[in-house]
Amino acid sequence: MAIIPKRTEMPVQDPKVRAHNFDEVALGYTPALAAAEAQRCLNCKNRPCVKGCPVNIDIPDFITKIKENDIEGAYEIINRSSSLPSVCGRVCPQETQCESLCTLGIRFEPVAIGRLERYVADFHAEKGVKSAERPAPNGRRVAVVGSGPSGLTCAGDLAKKGYEVTVYEAFHTPGGVLVYGIPEFRLPKAIVSREIRSLERLGVKFENNVVIGRTFTVEELMASGFDAVFIGSGAGLPKFMNIPGESCIGVYSANEFLTRANLMKAYVDEPETPIMKGGRVAVVGGGNVAMDAARTALRLGAEKVTVIYRRSLEELPARKEEVEHAMEEGIDFCLLCSPTRILGYNNESDPRDPKNGFVTGIECIRMELGEPDSDGRRRPVEIKGSEFTLDVDTVIMSIGTSPNPLIKNTTSGLDINRYGGIIVDGSGKTSLRGVYAGGDAVTGAATVISAMGAGKVAASAIDEYLSK
């Protein structure tokens, strides 16, 4: 079989157009493009891609089904391992996971596995005829705390095994970071909604507006007849840099900015939720959330958006496609720079000046890369005297989040590490009998797919525990 060195490009919205709308950027493969890309898979014997997938999807098998034009068959294979295929096809960092190990990728471009996964999942949603059958109940009840990627995966896997699952969500709508964090243009809310409805068809119940740790405690859940509890409450508490000026008006956490924009629909023409728009925006950080915040700011009408990151482009942790898209859209990258303070307006002669306290700029210092640190990444070192100021009106801090202390504070006997993460063993088991945890609540801020992987592992451990 002939080798096709280049991957099939996926159609995208024109950068000039999409920079002003919230519609999805990537448009997905057509049947012909998907078939062409599927042909590139060598179907090699050792299947390294499967090992690169945190939920071990049988990747070559589903691609083979695409080659055979059996898209529903491909969906069934993906669905065996993943509860949220149309989400993962869009947000997984495939270039560091499955695609990074692709045999074809050793000499050429790897197979675009993520794009194919997305194609299959979207095909199923639009045209698929078979709907998941609700399994016979096995009489066991499991409570899932949080409806983000780990909770949804855990709920889906258990429901498929006949467990009666109730998911508790603190917000007014389920989906966790998939709805409040990831913007519409990257993951349309309708897709998350679709995945949630398919879980409902499996019998999963969703109870919104319930804060576990407050409305009910974990102990109360256990006492009320649940046989096990999975905690997937995420890492919601934003971090700040602790530099001067972070309390100025116009400094947001990325969480606040994105939540206001996403969940509270500030992107609709007449939002009721306060969010500031326009002007010059600096986003501090280099992860996916920073890219999301920068691109959201642009779409909300910012004149200029600058991403400030302390290492170089090579170390930038965001998904490659998002960085490329951000650059195409005209977002500036101020690399090897680190903020030292945020400057605010201060009229000494008039303390009642309404402009007082508003951000006017951000002072940064240039960095160079020094010796590699413990994770092997070269540590950025300040270049003395290289400070400079960027004039901005808004600063968005996107330097990570830590777990919300609510469940820790209200659940006695639950062991927590010094970063506030819940301590679990390899199967997601916590220090409390029958209580499991996974996702950012355990690891601190990480990726959607790693949270899904943790939800999956915990679901199988819960099944084992309750089958004894």
Position among 66, 87, 111, 170 found at the interface with another protein (CB under 8 A):
170
Check residue 174 for interaction with another protein (CB under 8 A): yes
* Minimum distance from residue 244 beta carbon to another protein (Å): 9
Check residue 233 for interaction with another protein (CB under 8 A): no
Position among 21, 30, 215, 347 found at the interface with another protein (CB under 8 A):
215
Check residue 132 for interaction with another protein (CB under 8 A): no
Position among 80, 134, 161, 265 found at the interface with another protein (CB under 8 A):
265
Check residue 225 for interaction with another protein (CB under 8 A): no
Would you say 401 and 189 are in contact if contact means Cβ atoms under 8 Å apart? no
Check residue 238 for interaction with another protein (CB under 8 A): yes
Position among 85, 148, 236, 439 found at the interface with another protein (CB under 8 A):
236
At 282, the amino acid letter reads: A
Half-sphere exposure of residue 54, counting CA atoms within 13 Å on the CB side? 25
Site pattern 186..205 for another protein (x: CB under 8 A): ---xx-xx--xx--x----x
Check residue 249 for interaction with another protein (CB under 8 A): yes
Check residue 260 for interaction with another protein (CB under 8 A): yes
* Minimum distance from residue 363 beta carbon to another protein (Å): 18
CA distance 435 to 442: 13
Position among 132, 264, 369, 446 found at the interface with another protein (CB under 8 A):
264
Check residue 332 for interaction with another protein (CB under 8 A): no
Backbone angles phi, psi at 124, to 5 degrees: -60, -45
Query: Residue 352: exposed, middle, or buried by beta-carbon count in 10 A (0-12, 13-18, 19+)?
Result: exposed
Check residue 216 for interaction with another protein (CB under 8 A): yes
Q: What's the token pair of residue 420?
A: 């506030």
Check residue 214 for interaction with another protein (CB under 8 A): yes
Check residue 219 for interaction with another protein (CB under 8 A): no
Check residue 363 for interaction with another protein (CB under 8 A): no
CA distance 198 to 468: 29
Question: Which CB atom, from 191 or from 305, has the smaller least distance to another protein?
Answer: 191
Position among 64, 312, 356, 427 found at the interface with another protein (CB under 8 A):
356
Would you say 63 and 102 are in contact if contact means Cβ atoms under 8 Å apart? no
* Minimum distance from residue 211 beta carbon to another protein (Å): 6
Position among 95, 219, 256, 328 found at the interface with another protein (CB under 8 A):
256
CA distance 416 to 439: 14
Q: State the number of binding residues for another protein (CB under 8 A).
A: 56
* Minimum distance from residue 58 beta carbon to another protein (Å): 30
Check residue 137 for interaction with another protein (CB under 8 A): no
Question: Which CB atom, from 192 or from 231, has the smaller least distance to another protein?
Answer: 192
Check residue 208 for interaction with another protein (CB under 8 A): yes
Question: Which CB atom, from 123 or from 252, has the smaller least distance to another protein?
Answer: 252
Cβ neighbours of residue 167 closer than 8 Å, sequence gap 6 or more: 143, 144, 146, 147, 151, 152, 155, 174, 204, 205, 206, 207
Would you say 432 and 226 are in contact if contact means Cβ atoms under 8 Å apart? no
What's the chain's length in residues? 468
β-strand pairing of 394-397 with 280-284: parallel
Position among 62, 119, 123, 180 found at the interface with another protein (CB under 8 A):
180
Check residue 96 for interaction with another protein (CB under 8 A): no
Of 169, 160, 156, nearest in space to 232 by CA: 169
Check residue 227 for interaction with another protein (CB under 8 A): no
Q: What's the token pair of residue 296?
A: 């959201």
Check residue 210 for interaction with another protein (CB under 8 A): yes
Question: Which CB atom, from 36 or from 264, has the smaller least distance to another protein?
Answer: 264
Cβ neighbours of residue 42 closer than 8 Å, sequence gap 6 or more: 1, 3, 103, 104
Would you say 97 and 54 are in contact if contact means Cβ atoms under 8 Å apart? yes
Position among 86, 97, 255, 394 found at the interface with another protein (CB under 8 A):
255
Half-sphere exposure of residue 452, counting CA atoms within 13 Å on the CB side? 23
Question: Which CB atom, from 48 or from 188, has the smaller least distance to another protein?
Answer: 188
Of 310, 311, 302, 327, nearest in space to 392 by CA: 302
Would you say 230 and 462 are in contact if contact means Cβ atoms under 8 Å apart? yes
Position among 21, 30, 43, 273 found at the interface with another protein (CB under 8 A):
273
* Minimum distance from residue 122 beta carbon to another protein (Å): 18
Q: Would you give the distance in Å from CA 405 to the centre of its chain? A: 21
Would you say 322 and 90 are in contact if contact means Cβ atoms under 8 Å apart? no
Would you say 438 and 424 are in contact if contact means Cβ atoms under 8 Å apart? yes
CA distance 44 to 104: 9
Would you say 376 and 369 are in contact if contact means Cβ atoms under 8 Å apart? no
Chain positions contacting another protein, by CB under 8 A: 170-175, 179-180, 189-190, 192-193, 196-197, 200, 205-211, 214-216, 236-238, 240, 242, 246-247, 249-250, 252-253, 255-256, 259-260, 264-265, 268, 270, 272-274, 276, 354, 356-358, 401, 404-406
